[in-house]
Every structure is written in C-alpha cells, then in structure tokens.
Structure 1
Amino acid sequence: MPLTPLNRRDALRLAAAAATCALPGLAFAAYPDRVVKVVVPFAAGGATDIIGRIVAQQLGTSLGQQFIVENKGGAGGNLGAEAVAKGTPDGYTLLMGAMTSHATIATLEKGKVRYDLIKDFSTVAVVGRVPLVFVVHPSLPVKSMKELVAYIRSHPGKVSFGSSGAGAPQRMAAEMLKLQNKLQTENIPYRGSGPAVSDLIAGQLHFMAETIPAVLQHIRAGKLRALAVAGSRRDPSLPDVPTTAEAGMPDLEVSSTFGLLAPASVPKDVIQRLNAEVYKSLQKADVQALLAQQGVQVQSPITPEAAHEQLKAEVAKWAKLIAEASIKADE
C-alpha cells in the first residue's frame, strides 16, 4: 500500500526512533539543548547555594547553555531533594546536594522522607567537602581536644553544645565526640548556624563543631578558640590548628560533603558528560580559589560510580552513629 502523507511522516518518525535506539549515544549528543535547572534545597546565601552557583556558572560556560539555580528550601533540604528525585529524568533538572545532611536525614527521618537517597538518585560528581572545626568560648579553660574531654567529664551534664539542625554535620560531629569518649553533654538545637554561633560567642553555649567559614572571623578576632579541625589535613586558613587525628582522635573526622545529583534514570551518557565537565572546571585555579573562600577542599576527579559509592558510605556512616548514639530527629 502506498504511503499517505500522514503515514509517511509516521514512518519517518519510527525510522528515526529506531536509529536512535540502535545508537543510544546519539540520543543525547546535543545535550544540553535547552536551559538546565539546578535545584538548591536550601535558602540563598548558604554554602550549598554558593557552591551550587559556582558549579552552575561553570557548566553553563563549558556546555554553552544556561544553568539556572532555583532555591527550593524547606524540611531540612527534603523538599528540594524530593522535587528532583520525582522530576523528569532527562538531565534538565539537577540537585546541588549537601550530601552529608541528606545522608543523616535518610536515617533520622526514615519513613517520613518520600524518596530513597540511594535508589532515586545518581551521583554526578562529588564537588568537595568543608571540614568542621571544634571551637569553644574563650572563657572555657581548655586549649585542646583532650582538655575539652576532661572538662566535660568533670562537669557531667552541665556542658552544652549547639547545632544547626537535627541532621546537620555540626551535630553529628559533636555526637561523635560524645559517643567515642562516653561523655554526658547536652545538644541545644538551632535553626541554622548563625544563631548557634552567636550564642556560643555570648557564652550561652560551651562548644560547637562548625564549618570553618562560619566561625573563621570569630576565631581570628579572639571571640572563639579553635581546638582542632575535623579533617584529614590541616586547613590553610587555620594552619596552626591541628587536625583531630593530630589531637589524638583519629576517628573523629567529619566534613560536610557537597555534590551534584540527578534523578536515577537519567541516561548514563548525560551523567558522564556532566561528570567530565564538573571536574574539568574544578581543575581551574580561579574556581578552586572561589571554592576555597567557602572552605571547600576540592574533590579530585572520580567516576559517577565512585561518587555514588561515596554517597552510600555517607549514609552507612551516619546510620551507624545514629543507631549507636540513639540520636533522635526531634532532639
């Protein structure tokens, strides 16, 4: 039967589809051919937002397409993460994730979170990590981590620490210190780092674990005393402050990890292209300088598969601590 104009178009469309299926890499050779949205699941101005904007700007420049940042905060990052997890898996909606925070919430709010962090996401790339630093009010008579532990032991139940949220890395670091040294100390939860740091400076709290950028100016001004950086190496902004390993606590390493995620079903070639472009940008000196201002230690290039293994390791690490320390989301 001869082809009519209508079924001729249908035939051509089917032939094109068949060719695409035969050569799957061609389906996304033009990616991205329209605007890409990068969801930041927290308010503007925070570390995740600033890191996300740096990454989005670099991807836009290298791929010749606009990458716009959309802040979708709420529920400790869950609202934005859920929106991406349930979005169209075409590579045009991505998540700038605070991987450590998402990983702790995955356990703390299990049954309430309406997405599976491991199954519903592909990890495009780990951008880097921001180590935490243990700080105390200057009036506290301690100048090292061991002295802090001794002080807490001699004042059981009377020493308090602040944290910026139930599942925040800041809280997890203090809980890890507490568990490893069998200490009795109280967590005072805040809605963000700013109010907690302010109360620590005012003497309403005794100590905190906080990201370096959030407290650096206060350390330099003498309003807070730094005891140790909870990272694998000393931080260049605090060269005289030892790591927790150097302070005699090698297992007390906590960083806030940031990475770019996508819905799990996004085609692999799109994930790989994004991965390559992220790490290409992270090798630039100017980009590293911008991220260093946020305290970010840049991740060396790794595959998407290796990046996803890091996400799995984060979930396992904090699930273990939360279980052993009996940490609750509402405490």
Structure 2
Amino acid sequence: MPATRCRPESSRNPEPGPVFGLAGLRHFVLPAAYGSRWRGARLKALLLCIAAVATLLPGPVGADDAYPDRTVEWVVPFGPGGGSDRWARIMSSAAIDAFGQAWHVRNRGGEEGRLGWRYMLAKPPDGYTVLQGSMTPAIAALRDRESGFHPEDVRIAAFISSIKTHLIALPDSGFDSWEALTARPATAAPPRIGGTAAVLLAAATGFDRLGVPATLHIYSGTGEAVEALMAGQVDMAAVSTSTVFSLAGRASPVINVGARDNTPAIKEKIGDVPWIGALGAVGIGVPRWVGVHPDTPDEVVERISEGVGKVLADKSVSKLMAKLGEEIHYLPRDAAAVAYGELLERMKELLDRMP
C-alpha cells in the first residue's frame, strides 16, 4: 500500500453556504506576524495528516457512551445581544433534534469573556458545561497574567465560524464611509475604535496595513462597544456581520477587514462595503469556537464535536444564520485544536497592537 503523502490543499474560491471540515480552514486567516505571511500551508498539511490518521482509529467507546443524557449548559462569555449570543441561541433551537439534548444558554459576560471562562473551569469536566468562545478572552488572558487561567486551559471541540470584522460608524459622522475616513486631513485626530479584543485586533492590524491611524478602546462585549458608539464615546465600532445587520439604518458599515469579501447575499443587504483585500492588504478571520474543561474525556469531546456539526448542518440553523449575514465554517475537534494552537501563537506576536 503506497504511503500517504500529506501536503497542503490547493486554494479554491469560497462557495456560498455552510462549509464543513478541512475546506473551512481557508476562512481562518491570521498572519504569522504584523506585515508577514501566515504559515497556512504548513498548518493545512498537518491537518490533512491528522485527518488521514483519524480514519484508521476506532471510534470512541467506554463509560461515556450515554453522553449526553441531560440538558447541557451552554455558556456565552459575553452579554446578550452580541454575535456570540445570537449564534448560541440559534444553534440551541436545533439542539434537541441534532444534539440529543437541550442546551440551556447562559450569559456569563464580564472581564472580556474571562468571567465565563473561569465559570466553565469551575464546573466538573463532564461535558455538561460548554463554552462558546472566541479569541477575545484568550487575548485578555494573555494580556493579564492575573486572569486565573491560561488560554490553553480548554479543549477545543470545534470551530463554528470565522468572524468578518466590520467597522461601523454613525451616519453623517464623518467616519461613515471609507472615502470620508481617508479624506480626513492628516492633522485631524485619529478615529477612536471600540470593540472586543479579537475584532479590535483585526481592525487595528488592517488599519495599520492601510496606513490609517486609529486609537483603540477595548470593551467586554460587543453590546458595550455599540452603546459607546451611540453615545459618542467612540467614533467607530468593530463588530460582526450580524451586528451590522441588526443596526441597519442606525449605523453605517465602513469597511470589512475580515479574511474574505462579503458574499453577494450580504452585499444585497448592507451594500458593497469595501473589503480590505480589494484595497491591497490581508484581512484577518477570527474564529468562533466551542470548548470544554481541559480534563474532559476524549469520548465526550468527540461527541460534542459531532453534535455541533449536526446542529450546524440543520437547515433551520443555516437558514437563520444566512438571514443574519453569518456564515458557517465548521472544523471538527482535531483540526480545530491544531488551528487554535497556531492562532494563539500568532496572537502572542500581535499583542503589542493592543492598548
């Protein structure tokens, strides 16, 4: 039998609709360092090796065969109304049929997501407390050694999406279009941008590459950043696509600094918002992930990974996500865990961009 050669997949243009498995990896882009190229080819090759080996291994067996046999607490480490909250509540609508048990969505916002993470770590490692996270609490923990945990204190069960960070501003503010923003005199004060750590990092890196100065203001949740925008405390807010949709008529999208351009369906809703890639710079895709206590058994993590995949494949979930302008990019646990480790290393290199 010839040996299996593990090498990077060739890149392809993104297709509309949910993306499952290794094909979704292209949506998670974070450069190796500011101004340099991300080592995505090496990561893709490693993930293909993992996938090849996984096909030779037996499926999970043991004492956790009954999982899940009761309601799962689904922890959102941010307040209600933000992108993570919307994702959790939409997915939970299909949990009983696709996952086998109901999800009780619990908002544990505060401290840039760290409070929710600590809440998960304080629970038994049995898979009945699941954290739906992003890179925001991970970055916060890297910045603050007193957080009480390290970003590696989690077992990643799946990636579910890649956030396309959009910058929004109030209409007629002078910051409400890319043309207006870049036409401001050099002597003008730089725009104040508010957001959670992960999307703010994407925005700051993108603005640096485009030569546009900005000052950054970190908030614990997207809702707080939007409130600050409405109150005039910041000039722009860094948000996900679903938040852009929810603020139609109240805030104007200025630029998409994500790893991919908006789909035609999204453009139909919010207009042809300039994409950083079309302006000659590389955008950043920030993942949404699902994780559990680091001591959770392999069998349970695998069941959660498979269950999340089934939930995301539910037609009602994909339809609702599309209405919000969100895109499903699913990676199962092994691929997601490797990608998370790589992203964490890159985040460490970019920490000097944060205030």
Q: TM-score, normalised by structure 2?
A: 0.71
Conserved? CA contact 2:175–2:236, under 8 Å: no
Q: Which runs of 5+ in 2 are unaligned?
A: 1-58
Q: CA deviation at 1:150?
A: 6.0
Q: Distance in 2 between matches of 1:201 and 1:68?
A: 31
Conserved? CA contact 1:244–1:253, under 8 Å: no
Q: Which runs of 5+ in 1 are unaligned?
A: 1-22
Equivalent residues in 2 for 1:222-241 (5 A)? 224-231=251-258, 232-235=260-263, 236-239=265-268, 240-241=272-273
Aligned residues: 292
DSSP-derived class of the 1:117 partner:
coil
Pick which of 207-216 and 191-200 moved more: 191-200
Equivalent residues in 2 for 1:150-165 (5 A)? 151=184, 154-155=186-187, 158-165=189-196
Q: Distance in 1 between matches of 2:131 and 2:224?
A: 27
Conserved? CA contact 2:194–2:228, under 8 Å: no
Q: Distance in 2 between matches of 1:44 and 1:227?
A: 24
Q: CA deviation at 1:46?
A: 2.7
Give the aligned residue type for 1:155.
T
Question: Identity over aligned residues, as a percent?
Answer: 25
Aligned to 1:135: 168
DSSP-derived class of the 1:112 partner:
coil
Equivalent residues in 2 for 1:193-204 (5 A)? 193-194=222-223, 196-197=225-226, 200=229
Q: Distance in 1 between matches of 2:221 and 2:129?
A: 27
1:261 aligned onto 2:261: no
Equivalent residues in 2 for 1:1-331 (5 A)? 25-97=61-133, 99-109=134-144, 111-118=145-152, 120-139=153-172, 145=178, 148-149=181-182, 151=184, 154-155=186-187, 158-165=189-196, 167=197, 169-181=198-210, 183-189=212-218, 192-194=221-223, 196-197=225-226, 200=229, 205-216=234-245, 218=247, 221=249, 224-231=251-258, 232-235=260-263, 236-239=265-268, 240-249=272-281, 251-255=282-286, 257-300=287-330, 302-323=331-352, 325=353, 327-328=354-355
Q: Distance in 1 between matches of 2:246 and 2:94?
A: 28
Q: CA deviation at 1:206?
A: 4.1
DSSP-derived class of the 1:245 partner:
helix
Conserved? CA contact 1:160–1:188, under 8 Å: no
Give the aligned residue type for 2:261.
R
Q: CA deviation at 1:104?
A: 1.6
Q: TM-score, normalised by structure 1?
A: 0.75
DSSP-derived class of the 1:261 partner:
strand
Q: Which has the larger radius of gyration?
A: 1
Deviations 1:84-127 (A, max 9, x none): 12321111221121x22122213222x11111222x21111111
Alpha-carbon spacing, 1:248–1:148, altered in 2? closer, same or farther (3 Å): farther
Conserved? CA contact 1:103–1:314, under 8 Å: no
Q: Distance in 2 between matches of 1:307 and 1:284?
A: 20
Deviations 1:220-244 (A, max 9, x none): 53x5443432231324322522421
Conserved? CA contact 1:133–1:229, under 8 Å: yes
Alpha-carbon spacing, 1:196–1:289, altered in 2? closer, same or farther (3 Å): same
Conserved? CA contact 1:47–1:294, under 8 Å: no
Q: CA deviation at 1:253?
A: 2.4
Q: Distance in 1 between matches of 2:71 and 2:227?
A: 40
Conserved? CA contact 1:129–1:297, under 8 Å: yes
Q: Distance in 1 between matches of 2:228 and 2:71?
A: 43
- Across the aligned residues of Structure 1 and Structure 2, the Cα RMSD in angstroms comes to 3.0
Deviations 1:244-296 (A, max 9, x none): 101222x23244x3221111221112111221121122122221122234432
Conserved? CA contact 2:164–2:241, under 8 Å: yes
Alpha-carbon spacing, 1:100–1:189, altered in 2? closer, same or farther (3 Å): closer
Aligned to 1:4: none
Aligned to 2:14: none
DSSP-derived class of the 2:292 partner:
strand
Q: Distance in 2 between matches of 1:289 and 1:93?
A: 27
Conserved? CA contact 1:35–1:92, under 8 Å: yes
DSSP-derived class of the 1:238 partner:
helix
